[in-house]
Amino acid sequence: MISVHVHYLDPHRSLDSPVHALDARVKFILTVAFILTVSLTPYAAWPVFILLLAAVLSVEILSRLGLGYVQRRASLALPFVLAALPLAFSVEGTNLFTMRLGAWTQTASLEGLERFLSVGFKSWLSIQAAIVLTSSTSFPDLLRAMRAVRLPRLLVAMFGLMWRYLFVLADEALRLMRARAARSGRPGPRADSRPMPSFAWRARVAGGMAGSLFLRAFNRSDRIYGAMLSRCYDGEVRSLPLSSLSPSGWLTLAGGFSLLILLLSLGVLFWG
């Protein structure tokens, strides 16, 4: 089974917690609302950012995922925040310091640094919210939640196929790696004292594996899609209709929206 071989790709963790028991539609809507609130909060509204951080950390504790687990996964995406570093040097304001590298001179401003740090903090908060959502909700439930909130059918179908084909690609990669190891293609100490393979040899083998992986995954995905069409697939996976939201679900939605609207209003009122 593919799911057995590459289960590490699935971020979902089956735990017994109030967050896991919450309806997927409620979690999806509140996560999107939280990310929008973080994005719309004005720059340098640090008290509001601290309150938003307290909110997402509280949800992490309730989910029983562990703060360390969420922070480790969130840290993987933080290097991409460095793309916003030019803001520290391109926004006009109070000069902080000047960097000189030959003929190249750049001056960092206080306002630019605040904007860069705000972008980094916003990204960190949004990533944590997305991690809690995907770790506490299975992907089929997420797809059903997307359909329930009337996201375009084509977009939901693309998400579903992309997710499933990631497992196809990973399974084919594992097959190739096992085949290479079985044919003694794995670099390592040799019993006959032959020298270790060179970097060029490794690059050539890796390139061949990448090309073979693409062809095998493409052919296999084509067979899978053909099998789906033979079973009357028309772009939407059929599922049982979802039940209406429970009173506790509506109450959670109302409380979450009220808190987010309050925090956004504070940010716009005092820092907007």
Give the chain's end-to-end CA distance (angstroms, integer).
53
CA distance 118 to 110: 12
Kindly report, residue by residue over 246-267, the tens digit of the pLDDT: 999 999 999 999 999 999 999 9
- The length of the chain, given as a count of residues: 272
> Residue 245 corresponds to which amino acid?
L
The pLDDT of residue 190 is 52
What angle (nearest 5°) sits at the alpha carbon of residue 40, between those of residues 261 and 156?
90
Q: Average pLDDT, stretch 24-35?
A: 96
Specify the pLDDT at position 1: 41
- Residues 2 and 166: their CA atoms lie apart, in Å, by 10
Provide, rounded to the nearest whole percent, the portion of the chain with pLDDT above 70: 92
Give the angle subtended at the CA of 144 by the CAs of 140 and 145, to the nearest 5°. 115
* Beta carbons within 8 Å of 227's beta carbon, 6+ residues apart: none
Q: Is the pLDDT higher at 226 or at 2?
A: 226
Q: Confirm if 70 and 128 have CB atoms less than 8 A apart.
A: yes
Tokens of 53: 């951080």
User: How many CA atoms, within 13 angstroms, populate the side-chain half-sphere of residue 169?
Assistant: 11
Long-range CB pairs of 253-260 (<8 Å, 24+ gap) are 253/26, 253/29, 253/30, 256/26, 256/30, 256/33, 256/34, 257/30, 257/33, 259/55, 260/33, 260/34, 260/37
pLDDT digit string, tens, across residues 91-142:
888 888 888 877 788 888 888 889 999 999 999 999 999 999 999 999 889 9
Closest CA to 17 of 54, 53, 69, 52: 69
Q: What is the pLDDT of residue 78?
A: 82
pLDDT at residue 2, rounded to an integer = 42
pTM of whole model > 0.85?
no
Q: pLDDT for 30-75, tens place per residue?
A: 999 999 999 999 998 999 999 999 999 999 999 999 999 999 999 8
Given a cut of 50, is residue 152 above it in pLDDT?
A: yes
Mean pLDDT score, 168-194: 68
Q: How far apart are CA 216 and CA 29, in angstroms?
A: 38
Give CA–CA dist 142/225, Å, rounded. Answer: 22
Query: Which DSSP category does 82 fall into?
Result: G
pLDDT at 5 over 70: no
Identity at 138, one-letter amino acid code: S
pLDDT tens-digit readout, 184-206: 655 555 555 556 667 777 778 77
Residues 6+ apart with CB under 8 A from 56: 34, 125, 128, 129, 132
pLDDT of residue 185: 52
Tell me the average pLDDT of the chain: 85
The percent of residues in the chain predicted with pLDDT above 90, rounded, is 40
The tokens describing 185, both together, are: 């293609």
Helix, strand or coil, per DSSP, at residue 68: helix
DSSP 106-168: EEEEHHHHHHHHHHHHHHHHHHHHHHHHHHHS-HHHHHHHHHHTT--HHHHHHHHHHHHHHHH
